[in-house]
């Protein structure tokens, strides 16, 4: 008799004995309630103090806190929350920076990189953030629930945050089947070389949220896909029959890893290894002439032997020090305030006394800044001269892990993948009052336009997701227009119906979310519920693509170039208006809102929600010899100085006659005539020096001549006044 037949027999027997056992059960529960509660409340106070790396050999607990044994039926994935909570307060950990974004009570802090809801077919790149950062949309403002958010961006989520907010109303959500995406401690802390964060994402793509953390370890493998299970499936109870068992998620632990008492060793150093940070925080330059990653250098601090956590530290609350001046977390704490560029190298002048006023923390060299007027240290951020790509005549495009899923291979990759991120852009940053380098993305999205109410009120935009736009104007998107029509190999795929777009999730078009030059990839869609009836197919679809050769040999296998000429944009806007009569629609790109006028032509106008989103560049830091101005002042003050008069690409998936570039000084609030005057002064500066020294020499000669004449006069006067000697 198989285990499913046994289960059915036991269920029948339970029904017959249920009436008799219910009273006994209630009595027993009452007797055991207090002792059990007392036992559950017993914890070990975790008081830090030693730099010793604790050995984590512990029994595993499941999603409901029950001990994990290999005899369980079904065998459940372990939960870091319940396995680690004896020593670590999970409710404190979840307040950390990587998990607290959905909490509206948490200060947003300095802007960071947002997520990007991106799609090649519709030319969409919407910056998203749960934090109140400038020019970003909250996911719920664009119709994205926490469920959809997790499916889109779970590839680079360490769990927690939106992965545990299951109370958000969404008919498509399947939290009861998939479980929560709890905090995965291994995402950052695993020291196991076999730990696989890519597998973590593949499990998210299959909607195996509860199983993702377990599958990413070398402790177990997970088969099956929750995406293929019916909405009433209970993962704790397991499948009801053999047919369902073939599709259901199943855990296969390595029995040799369990000790005599069921304890398992997990390699979890307190300081996350750098390779874990790189999974979410890598950047790569793209475009013609761009070097491959292996041809470039790491941050100079890494090359000098420092690690990410030497500066970006945290305690049990996991509020990571972000390392910028004025950070609220470091206020009044010199031990934290000096974990900035200026604080580490120059010291903290605000500190009352002690070593924190002197600089050279962590052995950092104290810069002399010979010949540099100190006003530069007041008006410029340290990263202005020392971090990011070396500026040229025009900004360069980059891609990031969060925006473009650099860690995965698939049709979401390629130089044309959205979003388009450009750097370095030197802007005046309101949050710290300095001119500093940022990465920048010009948003692109289709939107409903709600007329403003009242005099002077502007129109309000309500962005539309890629799938919604495509469904309403499918024929217009598929039609060929002008010479920019895509080739057969570039034919854009249909956007994901679930709006879920991580990298190699389901082998189709992707919608991504992170990058250092474009900002978000169109990653392959996550497994669709409708397509996941065969979990084997879902699992196969979730396998990442094999790395390929040169990109020009992969036409049709990488992200196609968005094909949105003016004629297509007009056709899409007309199709949207025909679907919803009485509603105005527009397309935002290149810093403008484009809409149809009364004659059916495109009209462009500026709009606040079309402004670019940007976030400061912190890395990579270059060696001092590569700093701006290290060779000459004209690197910043010349007629062609990139920092002042360089061209900022207005990168857009559509070409609608908008300006292709903007001057750098426009983002700094500086007068171009004043910049030319400064450049002119530096042009004649060598001559000024020659004239100045020559003039000084002439003046010195005159002074010397008069000094000599004066000395001669004094000598003659002294001779006349001196008493005459005896006469002979």
Quick: pLDDT tens for 159-192. 999 999 998 888 899 999 999 999 999 999 999 9
Q: Is the pLDDT of residue 383 over 60?
A: yes
In a domain, 569, yes or no: no
Residues β-bridged to residue 86:
none
Token pair 């934290």 is found at 336
In a domain, 553, yes or no: no
In a domain, 56, yes or no: no
In a domain, 704, yes or no: yes
pLDDT value, residue 283 = 96
pLDDT digits (tens, 9 = 90+) for 204-254: 999 999 999 999 999 999 999 999 999 999 999 999 888 888 999 999 999
pLDDT value, residue 425 = 97
Q: Is the pLDDT of residue 355 over 80?
A: no
pLDDT digits (tens, 9 = 90+) for 95-130: 999 999 999 999 999 999 999 999 999 999 999 999
Q: How confident is the model at residue 496 (pLDDT cuts 50, 70, 90)?
A: very low
Q: Is the pLDDT of residue 723 over 50?
A: yes
Of 57-61, 146-150, 504-508, the range with the lowest mean pLDDT is 504-508
Q: Is the pLDDT of residue 381 over 80?
A: yes
Residues β-bridged to residue 124:
119
Q: Give me 440's structure tokens.
A: 């920048």
In a domain, 371, yes or no: no
Which of the pair, 539 or 556, is modelled with greater confidence? Answer: 556
Average pLDDT, the chain: 83
3-state per-residue secondary structure call for 596-635? ECCCCCEEEECCHHHCCEEEECCCCECCHHHCCCCCCCHH
Residue 584 neighbours by CB distance under 10 Å: 16
Q: Is the pLDDT of residue 327 over 70?
A: yes
Query: Region 626-652: what's the mean pLDDT?
Result: 91
In a domain, 699, yes or no: yes
Count: domains in the chain: 1
Q: Is the pLDDT of residue 612 over 90?
A: yes
Q: What is the dihedral of CA 235, 241, 245, 247, to 10 degrees?
A: -90
pLDDT value, residue 495 = 54
Q: Distance (Å, rounded) from C-alpha 379 to C-alpha 643?
A: 14
What DSSP assignment string belongs to 96-118?
STTT-TT-TTS---S--PPEEEE
This prediction has a pTM of 0.82
Q: Give me 688's structure tokens.
A: 């000024």
Whether residue 297 contacts residue 623, with contact meaning beta carbons closer than 8 Å, is answered with no
Residues 115, 119, 125: CA angle, nearest 5 degrees: 45
Three-state SS for 380?
strand
Query: Region 154-160: what's the mean pLDDT?
Result: 95
Q: Is the pLDDT of residue 539 over 90?
A: no
Token pair 């130089």 is found at 415
Q: Is the pLDDT of residue 330 over 80?
A: yes
pLDDT digits (tens, 9 = 90+) for 663-720: 999 999 999 888 888 888 877 777 888 888 999 999 999 999 999 998 988 888 888 8
Burial of 462 (0-12, 13-18, 19+ CB in 10 A): middle
Q: Distance (Å, rounded) from C-alpha 14 to C-alpha 443?
A: 60
Give whole-number Cα distances, 580 to 575, 577, 584, in Å.
9, 5, 8
pLDDT value, residue 331 = 85
Q: Distance (Å, rounded) from C-alpha 587 to C-alpha 448?
A: 9
pLDDT value, residue 456 = 58
Residues with Cβ < 8 Å from 653, sequence gap 6 or more?
A: 120, 123, 124, 125, 418, 420, 444, 562, 564, 589
Q: Is the pLDDT of residue 353 over 70?
A: no
In a domain, 73, yes or no: no
Token pair 């309500």 is found at 462
Q: Is the pLDDT of residue 411 over 60?
A: yes
Q: Is the pLDDT of residue 287 over 60?
A: yes
Whether residue 148 contacts residue 172, with contact meaning beta carbons closer than 8 Å, is answered with yes
Q: Is the pLDDT of residue 554 over 60?
A: no
Q: Percent of the chain scored above 90 by pLDDT?
A: 60
Q: Give me 569's structure tokens.
A: 């944009």
Q: Distance (Å, rounded) from C-alpha 444 to C-alpha 418?
A: 10
Of 249-253, 256-260, 544-548, the range with the lowest mean pLDDT is 544-548
DSSP state of 261: T
Residues with Cβ < 8 Å from 179, sequence gap 6 or more?
A: 63, 209, 210, 211, 226, 235
pLDDT value, residue 108 = 94
Give me the sign of the Cα torsion angle 41, 45, 51, 55: negative
pLDDT value, residue 699 = 94
Q: Give me 717's structure tokens.
A: 């006067």
Burial of 639 (0-12, 13-18, 19+ CB in 10 A): middle
Q: How confident is the model at residue 561 (pLDDT cuts 50, 70, 90)?
A: confident
Q: Distance (Å, rounded) from C-alpha 439 to C-alpha 425?
A: 6
In a domain, 693, yes or no: yes
Q: What is the dihedral of CA 470, 475, 480, 486, to 10 degrees?
A: 40
Q: Give me 511's structure tokens.
A: 């919608």
Q: Give me 83's structure tokens.
A: 């396995």
Domain that holds residue 708: 684-715
Q: Distance (Å, rounded) from C-alpha 382 to C-alpha 398?
A: 21
């Amino acid at each position: 008799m198989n285990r499913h037949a046994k289960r059915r027999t036991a269920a029948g027997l339970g029904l017959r004995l249920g009436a008799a056992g219910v009273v006994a059960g209630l009595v027993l529960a009452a007797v055991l309630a207090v002792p059990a509660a007392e036992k559950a409340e017993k914890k070990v106070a975790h008081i830090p103090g030693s730099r010793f790396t604790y050995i984590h050999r512990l029994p595993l607990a499941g999603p409901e806190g029950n001990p994990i044994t290999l005899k369980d039926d079904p065998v459940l994935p372990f939960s870091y929350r319940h396995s680690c909570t004896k020593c670590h307060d999970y409710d404190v950990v979840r307040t950390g920076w990587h998990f607290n974004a959905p909490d509206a009570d948490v200060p947003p802090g300095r802007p960071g990189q947002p997520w990007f809801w991106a799609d090649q077919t519709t030319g969409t790149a919407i910056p998203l953030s749960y934090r109140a950062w400038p020019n970003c949309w909250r996911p719920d403002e664009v119709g994205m629930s926490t469920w959809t958010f997790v499916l889109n961006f779970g590839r680079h989520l360490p769990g927690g945050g939106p992965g545990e907010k299951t109370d958000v109303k969404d008919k498509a959500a399947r939290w009861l089947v998939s479980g929560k995406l709890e905090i995965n401690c291994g995402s950052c802390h695993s020291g196991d070389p076999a730990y696989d964060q890519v597998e973590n994402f593949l499990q998210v793509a299959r909607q195996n949220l509860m199983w993702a953390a377990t599958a990413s370890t070398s402790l177990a493998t997970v088969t099956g896909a929750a995406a293929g299970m019916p909405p009433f499936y209970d993962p704790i109870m397991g499948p009801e029959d053999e047919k369902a068992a073939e599709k259901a998620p199943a855990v296969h632990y390595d029995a040799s890893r369990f000790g005599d008492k069921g304890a398992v060793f997990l390699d979890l150093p307190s300081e996350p290894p750098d390779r874990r940070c790189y999974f979410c925080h890598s950047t790569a330059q793209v475009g013609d002439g761009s070097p491959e990653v292996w041809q470039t250098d790491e941050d100079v601090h890494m090359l000098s032997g420092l690690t990410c956590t030497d500066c970006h530290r945290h305690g049990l609350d996991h509020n990571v020090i972000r390392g910028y001046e004025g950070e609220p977390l470091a206020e009044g704490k010199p031990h934290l305030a000096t974990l900035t560029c200026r604080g580490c190298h120059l010291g903290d002048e605000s500190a009352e006394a002690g070593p924190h006023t002197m600089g050279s923390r962590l052995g950092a060299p104290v810069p002399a800044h010979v010949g540099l007027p100190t006003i530069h240290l007041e008006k410029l951020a340290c990263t202005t001269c020392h971090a990011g790509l070396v500026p040229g005549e025009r900004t360069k495009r980059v891609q990031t892990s969060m925006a473009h899923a650099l860690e995965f291979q698939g049709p979401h990759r390629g130089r044309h993948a959205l979003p388009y991120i450009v750097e370095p852009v030197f802007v005046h940053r309101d949050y710290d009052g300095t001119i500093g380098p940022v990465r920048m993305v010009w948003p692109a999205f289709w939107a409903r336009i709600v007329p403003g109410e009242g005099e002077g009120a502007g129109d309000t935009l309500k962005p539309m997701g890629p799938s919604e736009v495509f469904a309403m104007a499918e024929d217009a998107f598929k039609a060929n227009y002008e010479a920019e029509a895509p080739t057969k190999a570039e034919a854009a795929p249909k956007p994901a119906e679930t709006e879920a777009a991580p990298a190699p999730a389901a082998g189709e078009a992707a919608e991504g979310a992170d990058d250092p030059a474009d900002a978000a990839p169109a990653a392959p869609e996550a497994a669709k519920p409708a397509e996941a009836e065969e979990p084997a197919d879902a699992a196969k679809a979730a396998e990442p693509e094999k790395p390929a050769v040169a990109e020009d040999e992969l036409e049709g296998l990488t992200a196609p170039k968005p094909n949105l000429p003016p004629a297509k944009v007009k056709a899409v806007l007309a199709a949207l208006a025909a679907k919803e009569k009485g509603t105005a629609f527009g397309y935002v790109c290149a810093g403008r809102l484009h809409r149809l006028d009364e004659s059916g032509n495109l009209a462009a106008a500026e709009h606040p929600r079309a402004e670019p989103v940007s976030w400061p560049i912190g890395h990579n830091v270059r060696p001092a010899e590569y700093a701006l101005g290290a060779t000459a002042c004209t690197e910043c003050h010349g007629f062609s100085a990139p920092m002042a008069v360089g061209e900022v690409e207005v990168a857009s998936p559509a070409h609608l006659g908008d300006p292709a570039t903007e001057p750098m000084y426009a983002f700094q609030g500086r007068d171009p005539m004043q910049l030319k005057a400064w450049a002119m002064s530096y042009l004649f500066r060598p001559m000024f020096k020659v004239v100045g020294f020559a003039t000084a020499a002439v003046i010195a000669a005159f002074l010397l001549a008069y000094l000599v004449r004066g000395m001669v006069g004094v000598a003659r006067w002294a001779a006349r006044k001196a008493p005459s000697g005896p006469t002979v």
